Amino acid sequence: MSEPIAPAVPPTPPVPLSALLAREDLGLRQIAGPPAPDTVIHWAHTSEMADPYPYLLGGELLLTAGVHVPEAAGAGAYFEDYVSRIVAAGGAALGFGLAPVHDTVPRALVAACDTYGLPLLEVPPRTTFSGVARAVWQLMAQARLAELRRVTEAQQSLAAAASRPDPVPSVLRQLAQRLSAHALLYGPDGTVIASAGRAPVPGTQEALRQLTGVVRPDAGPADTARDAPTSATDSLGDTQLAAYALGGSSGFVLGVATRRREPADHTIASVAAVLLSLLTGEHQSGAGAARSSALVRLLLGSAPAEVAALLGGGDDARWLVVHARPENGSPDPVGSAALGAALGSPLIDLARDVVRVLVPAGREPAAQPGWTLGVGAPAGPADWPSADAQAARALARARATRAPLVRHGARPGLSELVPRADAEEYARALLAPLAAGPALTETLRTWLSLHGSWDRTAVALDVHRNTVRQRITRCAALLDTDLDDPDVRMELWFALRRG
């Protein structure tokens, strides 16, 4: 039996299968597989293919009326192969319709689903597959709306708490209330400065104190201090623990202990960490003054290389450009500041639909809950524009493949064997027919980078898949070539990389 692949999680909360079964208007009934409370689905997909594996992304409720089932498949290996391929593709559950082909669910299919641990649902004749899919999206929308409302309300209450006469205790109390948690603020020496919330279970404070050591940089000169992650999580029995470093190397740490960890908890705690960073004065430090000086010098015409040293790391420091988009909605100032704190950098640029963060190359960005990230290659100030473009392409690929983080691949390849001037001249000549259509060039680049996937290219470019097909067909006509030929694809990819 093939090993299941990890589902590609979309930017929406999953739906418990039990919630779908509870919909009386659908009349679904589980007849095989593990209990519904242990299963979540990320989307619904209908297919009558005998082998649906190539068309599944993982996490689906696959719906079928059994049109593909041969007449001689009542018993035998057909259903074993069929179910094993769904499981191998990461499918979450299978829904079998009782109309118009079959009056009952084949017993061999029930047995195969029990064998492979795939939940099997019986879909009554009155329930359409489109109705099931609509119910899935409705439940997802309700969960997403509830999550967004919770985060928004928490942001507003935390910001209000930060404006009170006793801001630090007020923020901790509000955080503890919002997360039903025990919240503590640790000073640079590891002592508890303030706390709020319900009394923790025995051993929680000591476990949190140890966890704060993971995110607190070692004491010592700035050039020898240990780089530490900005957040860390752990558990103590049923208690979930989290620690958040405040203000980079300031040494202050926020500790949070909860009895359960909800998807939005990390975002809410990160907002509190940003506010506490401001309240503990990091942005008034010498590092903050240096950043202000760097900004002034840039505005007055100095070259990036001349002011980069003020940002920290020395004259020859290298940096990473990170592009990020929230999985839900548009970026906002509070969420963007929380992202910067999580990545360990206050150098943030908030645009309409993307957040750009400049991170020292020594701090390797990690995936952040609720965000999709693209990371450029390490670059000096002179190459920041190129790194910015790399990060943008990496973000587009991350969104298309539904990966939480994609890094630009900067490994030297065969293209380095061709002189750059020759390569650029070749690229201009080959791609000249597309010169008048930037959208065609970008679509071709994205389509090739995603191995000719129509759906993923459409996601990356925020267009309909039919638009992608039309543009690629137009590219093939203008270039007078066969885009199904791997040699042609290789040459075009080379040209697009150098053009």
pLDDT digits (tens, 9 = 90+) for 54-69: 989 889 999 999 998 8
Backbone angles phi, psi at 50, to 5 degrees: -65, -30
Domain with residues 164-280, CATH architecture:
2-Layer Sandwich (3.30)
Three-state secondary structure call for residue 192: strand
Range 209-220 average pLDDT: 74
pLDDT over 80 at 411, yes or no: no
Three-state secondary structure call for residue 308: helix
* Category of 498 on φ-ψ map: left (φ > 0), alpha (ψ -120 to 50) or beta: alpha
486 within 8 A of 412, measured Cβ to Cβ: no
CA distance 399 to 449: 13
pLDDT of residue 313: 55
pLDDT of residue 143: 84
CA distance 19 to 121: 13
- Hey, which CATH number is domain 415-498, 1.10.3720.10, 1.10.10.2840, 3.90.550.10, 1.20.1430.10? 1.10.10.2840
Sequence-ordered list of residues with C-beta below 8 angstroms from that of 143, at least 6 positions apart, any chain: 12, 13, 15
Three-state secondary structure call for residue 497: helix
How many residues are recorded in the chain?
499
The string over 219-254, giving b where at least 16 C-beta atoms fall within 10 Å of a residue's C-beta and e elsewhere, is eeeeeeeeebebbbeeebeebbbbbbbbbbbbbbbb
Domain with residues 15-140, CATH architecture:
3-Layer(aba) Sandwich (3.40)
Range 78-88 average pLDDT: 93
Tens of pLDDT, residue by residue over 185-204, are 888 778 888 888 887 778 88
CA distance 470 to 274: 46
Average pLDDT of the chain, as a whole number? 81
CA distance 382 to 117: 55
CB atoms within 10 A of CB 403: 16
pLDDT over 60 at 398, yes or no: yes
Tens of pLDDT, residue by residue over 98-151, are 988 899 999 999 999 999 999 999 999 999 999 999 999 999 888 888 888 888
* Beta bridge mates, 41: 15
Poorest-pLDDT segment among 109-113, 143-147, 403-407, 421-425 = 421-425
pLDDT over 50 at 286, yes or no: no
pLDDT over 80 at 418, yes or no: no
CA distance 71 to 405: 46
Considering the chain, what percentage of its residues have pLDDT values greater than 90? 24
Q: How confident is the model at residue 464 (pLDDT cuts 50, 70, 90)?
A: very high
Query: Judging by DSSP bridges, how do beta strands 348-350 and 355-360 pair with one another?
Result: antiparallel
Q: How confident is the model at residue 329 (pLDDT cuts 50, 70, 90)?
A: confident
CA distance 427 to 433: 11
Q: For 155, what's the count of Cα atoms within 13 Å in the CB-facing half-sphere?
A: 18
Range 65-94 average pLDDT: 87
pLDDT of residue 7: 38
- Hey, which CATH number is domain 318-407, 1.10.3470, 2.60.40, 1.10.1740, 3.30.70? 3.30.70
